């Protein structure tokens, strides 16, 4: 069975601070994908990143970076120099199997609410 | 390209009433998914359409929930009769056709959700 744990329910930081959102997952499959989504106040889930289980390279995109460690089953997300616009709920998700088949059903964590104060 | 749209954005109904939620996927997307998030909990899968066919409805809570996708375009999710525990945010997502052999083609695009409150 798949499981995604986001232990941090809410994080509050002041602008320009760095913040890391934790994600720990469980799966028995060797092929799987991990995702992060952002849910801003407008409500829609915005895709941020997808990482497959065979690619442990960390990724950086602007102020965002992701640290994938299979040894600890973690896929943590760091925002550097946070801004007020980063305030949102962030969801980590996991999907087993090969996505090239055309569809997948992700298992989501409970989400972490990030509040960035000016 | 227009994104996934959902209507209404909010709905407040009394226990026992009926509510119908609508989702318009991105044009040309064959896959349509419904999810629900109860306050503070995980986003949970409800069901998956491929065109007008239900591919997987294993996440539907009970027979008070009925989803349809006539003609393979928009989808509706009806809750009848609504119960208090049905309150939550209902998300819809869509993705391209299956069988393209590309991981990117399976990417799900989410709508803004419908917040349902049952009192």
Residue A44 has its nearest CB partner, among B42, B100, B111, at B111
Which DSSP letter does residue A42 get?
A: T
- Cβ distance A100 to B111 less than 8 Å, yes or no, reads no
Question: Could you tell me the two tokens for B36?
Answer: 């629900």
Q: Collect all residues of chain B within an 8 Å Cβ-Cβ radius of residue A51.
A: none
Measured between alpha carbons, how far is A79 from A65 in angstroms, rounded to an integer? 7
Q: Look-up: residue for tokens 């419904």?
A: B34
User: pLDDT for A52-77, tens place per residue?
Assistant: 898 888 888 899 999 999 999 999 99
Dihedral sign from CA coordinates of A20, A23, A29, A33: negative
Three-class HEC string of B35-60? EEECCCCCEEEEEEEECCEEEECCCC
Find the helix or strand (DSSP H, E) in which B28 lies: none
C-beta atoms of A44 and B40 within 8 A: no
Q: Is A71 on the interface with B (CB under 8 A)?
A: no
Residue of A47, A93, A108 lying closest to B107 (CB–CB): A47
The token pair at B24 is 């318009």
Q: What span, in angstroms and rounded, lies between the C-alpha atoms of A88 and A53?
A: 26
Chain B interface residues (partner A, CB cutoff 8 A)? 3-4, 9, 31, 33, 40-45, 48, 50, 55-56, 89, 91, 93, 95-103, 105-113, 115
Q: Give the span between the Cα atoms of A115 and A48, in whole angstroms.
A: 18
Q: Please give the structure tokens belonging to residue A16.
A: 């320009």
Tokens representing A74?
Answer: 């973690």
**Facing residue for A105 by CB, picked from B3, B48, B109:** B48
Cβ-defined contact of B41 to A101 (cutoff 8 Å): no
Q: What is the Cα–Cα distance from A75 to A100, expressed in whole angstroms?
A: 22
8 Å CB contact of B103 and A9: no
- Band (pLDDT 50/70/90 cuts) for residue A100 is low
Quick one: which of B1, B9, B2 has its CA closest to B112?
Answer: B9
Q: Are B15 and B24 in contact (CB under 8 A)?
A: no
pLDDT of residue A99: 62
Radius of gyration over every alpha carbon of chain A, rounded to an integer in angstroms: 14
Chain B residue numbers with beta carbons less than 8 Å from the beta carbon of A9 are: 40
The Cα B22–Cα B108 span in angstroms is: 17
B16-50 as b/e, with b when 16 or more CB fall inside 10 Å? Answer: eeebebebbbbeebbbbbbbbbeeeebbbbbbbbb
Per-residue pLDDT for chain B (119 aa), expressed as one digit of tens each?
A: 679 999 999 999 999 999 999 999 999 899 999 999 998 899 999 999 999 999 999 999 999 999 999 888 999 999 999 999 999 999 999 998 655 555 565 788 999 999 999 99
């Amino acid at each position: 069975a798949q499981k995604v744990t986001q232990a941090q329910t809410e994080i509050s930081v002041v602008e320009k601070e760095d913040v890391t959102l934790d994600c720990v997952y469980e799966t028995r499959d060797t092929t799987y994908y991990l995702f992060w989504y952002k849910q801003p106040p407008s409500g829609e889930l915005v895709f941020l990143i997808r990482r497959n289980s065979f690619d442990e390279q960390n990724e950086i995109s602007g102020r965002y970076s992701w640290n994938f460690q299979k040894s600890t089953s973690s896929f943590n997300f760091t925002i550097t120099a946070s801004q007020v616009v980063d305030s949102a709920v962030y969801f980590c998700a996991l999907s087993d199997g090969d996505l090239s088949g055309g569809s997948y059903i992700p298992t989501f964590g409970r989400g972490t609410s990030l509040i960035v104060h000016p | 390209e227009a994104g996934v749209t959902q209507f209404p954005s909010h709905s407040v109904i009394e226990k026992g009433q009926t509510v119908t939620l609508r989702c318009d996927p991105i044009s040309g997307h064959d896959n349509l998914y419904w999810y629900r998030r109860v306050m503070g909990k995980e986003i949970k899968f409800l069901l998956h359409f491929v065109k007008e066919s239900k591919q997987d409805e294993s996440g539907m809570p009970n027979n008070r929930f009925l989803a349809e996708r006539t003609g393979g375009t928009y989808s509706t999710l009806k809750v009848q009769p609504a119960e208090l525990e049905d309150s939550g945010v209902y998300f819809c997502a869509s993705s391209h056709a299956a069988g393209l052999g590309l991981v990117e083609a399976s990417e799900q695009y989410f709508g803004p959700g419908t917040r349902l409150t049952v009192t």
